[in-house]
Structure 1
């Protein structure tokens, strides 16, 4: 057997081992997520990403931000769609008494009434923009309430956690307008978000992992 053949065999074994390791790692993390608490009890400040949707989603999320412990969730980065100008104004207004925050923008993964099939490509495009943001900022926790702007951020964060590139928790708060069924974003994130919070008791039947603490916004 030539040296080249041995190298090819070694490469195949290495790649197969890497794939098996990553599959096991994903299964292990999903097991922890589905059976454990969120793990945000740290007394140290947590580098925080707050995913901003638009319109009513922005208003709901910023109401939650105002009730946060700004010392614990510090510094803060707001991630919003690149064509969302109105939310930027609201963010600066909500943070007018604080200085330790910043904004980042990514392409919108799905626009209103955009066909779901074409949103696959726009989501992949948004994921490409989300990767450097997370690699540089390295958050400890991500808060989101939809819509789809948060999906690229959360997907990248989860797979970076699988690859030991960061240790980040994902908290999804379902919108107050969802009473009996989860939104599309909620149905996606219920598979890998660390904590799912709903604001109506009826929604606990729609997602057995959901936590109900009453109305938050």
Structure 2
């Protein structure tokens, strides 16, 4: 059975990831998200936490380096076959590791983006094996993307 890593930053990205719960239950899977002051939805799946990252903070680079080391540790421990991400910044190291180790990468662009790309989406669209958008108009931004509607 394939092992799947579901990874997202907090907030709306994580909420979108949790809409994939039926898929999580179909495979051996685990979740990676950012640690926050509020608790994420309780889940029977294994959950790993990364530092919360904001590119406008002075500690941005430091946190990304720490997250990268933590991500390598998680990746080598779990050895996922597939990585599914809804973004954002903290997810980039895991997505890049997927490509380095020749694993399948599936990226779902944010539901909040109706006609412009996210920074993470722009970067990872180059590496994703499957790249999904949730609005038909986003096919103008990512003509190679897959549109199947929203995940809500």
TM over 0.5: yes
1:1-217 matches, within 5 Å, as 45-65=1-21, 67-68=22-23, 70-71=25-26, 73-74=27-28, 76-81=29-34, 83-88=35-40, 90=41, 92=42, 95=43, 99=44, 101-108=45-52, 110-111=53-54, 113-114=56-57, 119-161=60-102, 168-217=103-152
Q: Where has structure 1 moved over 4 Å in runs of 4 or more? A: none
Secondary structure at the counterpart of residue 48 of structure 2: strand
TM-score, structure 1 length as denominator?
0.64
Q: Which blocks of at least 5 consecutive residues in structure 1 are unaligned?
A: 1-44, 162-167
Partner deviation per Cα, 1:58-113 (whole Å, 9 max, x = no partner): 21111122x42623x22x111112x324353x1x1xx3xxx4x21112223x3263
TM-score, structure 2 length as denominator?
0.88
Partner deviation per Cα, 1:99-145 (whole Å, 9 max, x = no partner): 4x21112223x326336xx6344323311111111111110111111
Q: Which blocks of at least 5 consecutive residues in structure 2 are unaligned?
A: none
Partner deviation per Cα, 1:149-202 (whole Å, 9 max, x = no partner): 2111111222222xxxxxx21111111110111111100101101111001111
Task: Judge conservation of contact 1:158–1:192 (CA < 8 Å) in 2.
Answer: yes
Choose 1 or 2 for highest CA Rg: 1
Task: Judge conservation of contact 2:14–2:33 (CA < 8 Å) in 1.
Answer: no
Greater per-residue helix proportion: 1
Quick one: structure 1 residues 208 and 121, their matched pair in 2 at CA, closer, same or farther if it must change by over 3 Å? farther
Task: Judge conservation of contact 1:52–1:79 (CA < 8 Å) in 2.
Answer: yes
